[in-house]
Every structure is written in C-alpha cells, then in structure tokens.
Structure 1
C-alpha cells in the first residue's frame, strides 16, 4: 500500500468552506478511483490554514497514472483548487512499521 501525503495551504478564513469541499471531493470523486483505499485530513493547530491530506492507494501508479492522468483529477481540482494559496506539496510513502 502507498500513502500519498499532500501538504495543502489554503487562503486565510476559508477553513469551513475548504473542509466541506475536501470532504465532498474525496468522498465523491477520489473514492471512485482505481486503487483508492481511504483518506484522512488533518488541520494544523499552529497553522490553521495548513492541512495534511493522506490518501491510501494500492499502488503508486493508481495515484500517479490512473488518477492524476484520468478524468477524475480535473473534477477533484475544480472542487478544492479554488481554496489553494499555493500548489500542494505531494509525496508518497511506503509503510515500514506500525503499532499493533
């Protein structure tokens, strides 16, 4: 399994609207993607305009090819993109160890 981590900065004062948009975009659009296994979103305590979006994929290609190059990605960006203060920073991770 691959973990995608997107570090998102939004425009000040848009938290409530962005949180509704990211929930809708992830549950209605990204959830349709091949290899999608789930997501979570965290808001910064010290920086309330900063969010970390974690999306779990079966493979790296499910995100980078099937989703990013497919028809769902523009739909996703249309929902959340207007809130971005800067392009999100995105990286991928593999599980090494975890607690029980």
Structure 2
C-alpha cells in the first residue's frame, strides 16, 4: 500500500467552504478511482489555512498514472482547486514500521 500525503494551503477565511468541498470531493470523486483504499484529512490548529490530506492507494501507479491521468482528477481539481493559495506539495510513502 502507498500513502500519498498532500500538504494543502488554502486562501484565508475559506475554511468552512473548503471543509465541505474536500470531504465531498473525496467521497464522491476520488473514492471512485481504481486502487483507492481510504483517506484521512487533518486541518491545522496553529495554521488554520493548512490541511494535510492522506490518501491510501494500492500502488503508486494507481495514483500517478490511473487517477491523475483520468477525468476523475479533472473533477477533483474542479472541486478543491479554487480554494488553493498555492499548488499542494504531494509526496508518496511506503510503510516502514508500525505498532
């Protein structure tokens, strides 16, 4: 399993709108993607315009090729993109250890 982490910064004062939009986009758009295995979203306390999105994928290619190359990616960006203050920083991780 692959973990995608997106560090998202949104425009100030739009948190309530974004809270709704990201949840809607995840459950109605990304959840349809082949290889999608789940998500978590955390929002900043000290930095209320900062969100950390974690998406679990079966393989790296499920995200980088399958999802990003699909119409679903276009739909996702239409839902959340208008809130971005800057492009999100996205990286991928594999599990090393857990308790």
Distance across 2 between alignment mates of 1:98 and 1:44: 24
Structure 2: gaps (5+ residues): none
5+ residue gaps, structure 1, are none
TM-score, with structure 1 as normaliser: 0.98
Per-residue deviation, residues 2-52 of structure 1 (Å, max 9, x unmatched): 000000000001011001000000000000000000001000111010000
What is the aligned residue count? 99
What is the CA RMSD across the aligned residues, in angstroms?
0.4
User: 3-state SS of the aligned residue for 2:45?
Assistant: coil
CA distance in 2, matches of 1:70, 1:78: 13
1:14-93 aligned at under 5 Å gives the runs 14-93=14-93
Name the SS of the counterpart of 2:61 in structure 1. Answer: helix
**Structure 1 residue runs of 4 or more that deviate by more than 3 Å after TM superposition:** none
